[in-house]
Structure 1
């Protein structure tokens, strides 16, 4: 197994080798411990090429970081990469001594199930997505012999849904309140949210020139997304870049806003939007939800008025219509019940 030794302000990685019947080692010095680990893990895996990987001592947590810092870093935007790194911290705790060549679905499932006893199913699902990508890469490279990633399941606590879509009556109540209090910028933000369903980061990335009239419709262009954790402004998916039609009264309100010093239309309010929304909804007697819940509300409203699934998908900026279908089934159960009844009536009329 590789060893990492701190030497002053640097780190020395050391790898054992066996050549011409004699044992020895090679070493290299790095500025950071992470760089040293990546180099050491790479060489350990190279030693394993063409041999029984089960006999190797490469730790899964080390391999995961190697994969993230050398492969995933080139494939995803900064915000997503940060999530992979955060997942690595969890993997370090869950699999501190697990060796890559000795992993199997039974062992990993037991650890994930234990983790799920104290975490939500959503949290476990997000962690499992990242574990699967690393395992599939290991299998493709020949570092493990069995592709068991798909056998792993996410189990966890079912927590109350925070991103609840508002009912039509509460949506109407909220809209009327906001229209009567447009002197506050935050209220204008909420009006834009329930009118477009855009993501919060996308809203914070709007500049004055992104709001325009194209000769037929009033529109807002989604070109960038602002994150509270990094300076990356890349959109979530390739379909996130889009033009969304808005009502004229919302257009007029946006045009009245003065841009901030950074060039963006809205203040980030130190990213306390959730707390501000919770307080506002409580004051006007509407059940609590989140900014994403308002996005769900927009989708729910469009579905309830029979707009095509493909149109809603484009408006929301989903990468796939399958994602929108999940919204459709989850947000509008009453719509499904209505369609079930219609289907039964059609069958009865045969």
Structure 2
């Protein structure tokens, strides 16, 4: 049976890992006796149905690493697997020698809060989601008494949005410059991003055979972290129509030895774009911001349906499109404000 003893202001529980009472033990301390009794009972019940409690004595950091390299490796795409590998040293640094048997939502929450002090909410959330998945897997295999991962929340600071959509006026200035006075193939790539809303990796994955008379076919995506060229989702595989002038410029870019049209160029597209925008006196955004600009421009038209925009962007569903791109262009918002006021004023007539 489990032993519960009071040590100072804490209640310490000791449970034998075997129902035959061997020398191996797992221990945990609690602030009150009721929680101590509950944990003791949960572990005794788990032991009686054949769960090996000794596995709860391993450190969570080692468990997480083994889980990533044995389970997730065969579960996810290569690019996603690389993201999991990136989280391993983060988990090791946060949890160090913390054993699985001592984990609960409060302890994990404190570790996530610690990480959030120096990282954005988005980055913290990505780490937490992977930790939650590992905790759920551990619970499913009897290493945790409860699946408490969903109780842990992200409280990181919200970083300033970098993928800002250009205004309609700025989009026109940039587009006209790129068509009439472009200086290199990178600027043609910028024009194509502005014209299609395609992701950077999708543009880098273009081959001559993916070019039609008035459209490009999205079939591959090039990543800086993986050799996997598979597209993000099934809906990412699509055909995007483009303007004749843009198509003629695209055809002037020579195919590279590796079979692709554009050179990855060290994946420095956002930095080079920043220099271009600064030279033209336009607002700063990232290369992905060109995708946001394209989407926002389409949204500014009452004639283009959200279904079409979602398909053009390669989203898995319309809800994704609505969640990310329902921010109107500045000029469109001003017009909407005016229309709303006119409509409200009509109530007084």
Q: Normalising to structure 2: TM-score of the pair?
A: 0.79
Q: Relative to 1, partners in 2 of residues 1:252 and 1:132: Cα closer, same or farther, differing over 3 Å? A: same
Name structure 2 gaps, 5 residues minimum: 1-16, 25-46
How do residues 171-320 of structure 1 correspond to structure 2 at under 5 angstroms?
171-213=171-213, 218-306=214-302, 307-320=304-317
Bigger Cα displacement from structure 2, 52-61 vs 220-229: 52-61
Q: Within 1, Cα distance between the matches of 2:106 and 2:261?
A: 52
Partners of 1:281 and 1:219 in 2: CA distance: 26
Cα distance in 1 between the residues matched to 2:334 and 2:135: 38
How many matched pairs? 308
The answer to whether the Cα contact below 8 Å between 2:179 and 2:246 also exists between their aligned partners in 1 is no
Considering only aligned residues, what root-mean-square deviation do their CA atoms show, in Å?
A: 3.1
Q: CA deviation at 1:130?
A: 1.0
Distance 1:131 1:330 in 2: 32
The DSSP-based 3-state class of the residue aligned with 2:212 is: strand
Question: 2:97 maps to what in 1?
Answer: 97
Question: How is 1:129-140 mapped onto 2 (pairs within 5 angstroms)?
Answer: 129-140=129-140
1:156 maps to what in 2? 156
Secondary structure of the corresponding residue to residue 84 of structure 1: helix
* Contact 1:54 1:101 (C-alpha < 8 Å) held by counterparts: no
Deviation at 1:227, TM superposition (A): 1.2
Change (3 A) 1:52 1:318: same
- Output the CA distance in 1 between the equivalents of 2:312 and 2:274: 26
Gaps of 5+ in 1: 1-16, 25-46
State the alpha-carbon separation in 2 of the partners of residues 149 and 211 from structure 1.
47
Between structure 1 and structure 2, the one with the greater Rg is: 2
Q: CA offset at residue 200 of structure 1?
A: 0.5
Distance 2:334 2:76 in 1: 36
**Separation (CA, whole Å) in 2 of partners of 1:52 and 1:23:** 14
Deviation, 1:207, is: 0.2
Q: Which residue of 1 aligns with 2:5?
A: none
Change in 2 beyond 3 A, CA 1:348/1:89: farther
Task: Quote how far apart the aligned CAs of 1:19 are.
Answer: 12
Instruction: Give the match's secondary structure for 1:180.
Output: helix
Q: Shift in Å at residue 171 of structure 1?
A: 0.6
State the distance in 2 between where 1:104 and 1:22 align.
25
In 1, are the aligned partners of 2:218 and 2:238 still within 8 Å (CA)?
yes
Contact 2:216-2:242 within 8 A present in 1 as well: yes
Contact 1:329 1:336 in 2 (8 A): no
Provide closer, same or farther for how the CA distance between residues 241 and 49 of structure 1 changes in structure 2, counting only shifts above 3 A: farther
SS of corresponding position for 1:256? coil
